[in-house]
Amino acid sequence: MTTPVLLDRHGPIALLTINRPEKLNALDYATNDLLLAHLNELEPDDGVGAVVITGAGRRAFSAGGDIHEFSRSIADGIEAAVRDFCQRGQRMTARLEDYPKPVIAAVNGLAYGGGCEITEAVHLAVTCESALFAKPEITIGIPPTFGGTQRLPRLAGRKRALEMLLTGDSFSAARALDIGLVNQVVADGRELDAAFALAKRILRHSPLAASRILTAVTRGLNTTITEGLRIEQEQFARMAATRDVHEGLTAWIERRMPDYQGAEAKQ
């Protein structure tokens, strides 16, 4: 049987590929669960500093949830549908959003529904020029269920997000860049290279500092500015007790490139 998510390691970068091209990489329950399992597996691996997610083939990053499977859960009742579909998808996207290592989406085609919600949840995203995005859940009579009603307004603003959510209309890669859903638009076929290049730019720096930044930003977005500043201070305090801070400061003074080890304790 074909594995629905492929895991490949390219040095310090782990590549996760949603591998259902014949279904436009739709997120059935097995795919959702395997994505989550791979993220859990990679988190404690000190040899992995960043994760890139893409879709198999050239047609789709992910066309969203597997409607045939979801319809069976709907037939089983509200409790089953909420548990099997909504809560499962929300766990996966929340894990992406809260992940302590940078996660970058390389969007290589359609990113509809759940595919768009993965793009919303990850820390950074690169897309090819021909990619299309959409929030089409309303066309089958439901709101988004993997966090789209919450994350898209935070990224795009309330009115722009509501237009996308309420019409279900698709929008271009250029529009995704304009609203802050993606960081970069590149020529078709170059999105994976661009995602890897972005990961390598991050990996030049302390992995501990990157993790502290991710935590401060993710937690701070959902608080007041006063609480956010307290979170920022906490994350700085955690870094101040590390070898990486000592190495970074020493390297700057000595005018050399730092050699970060990701070590928590001082030398």
Tokens 């996760």 belong to 16
- Residues 179 and 243: their CA atoms lie apart, in Å, by 38
Q: Which two tokens stand for residue 221?
A: 């977005």
Choosing from 120, 129, 137, 264, the catalytic residue is: 137
Catalytic status, residue 254? no
The span from the CA of 140 to the CA of 154, in Å, is: 24
DSSP 3-state assignment of 214?
Answer: helix
What gap in Å lies between CA 228 and CA 218, rounded to an integer?
10
Q: Report whether 173 contacts 130 (CB < 8 A).
A: yes
Q: Helices 88-98 and 114-121, interaxial angle, to 10°? A: 30
Burial of 265 (0-12, 13-18, 19+ CB in 10 A): exposed
Interior/surface letters 171-185, b for 16+ CB within 10 angstroms, e for the rest = bebebbeebebbbbb
DSSP-derived pairing of the beta strands 110-112 and 132-134: parallel
Q: Single out the catalytic residue among 43, 97, 117, 191.
A: 117
> Does the annotation mark 137 as catalytic?
yes
CA 147 to each of CA 59, 61, 235: distance values in angstroms, whole numbers, following the listed order: 24, 18, 26
Residues classed as catalytic: 117, 137
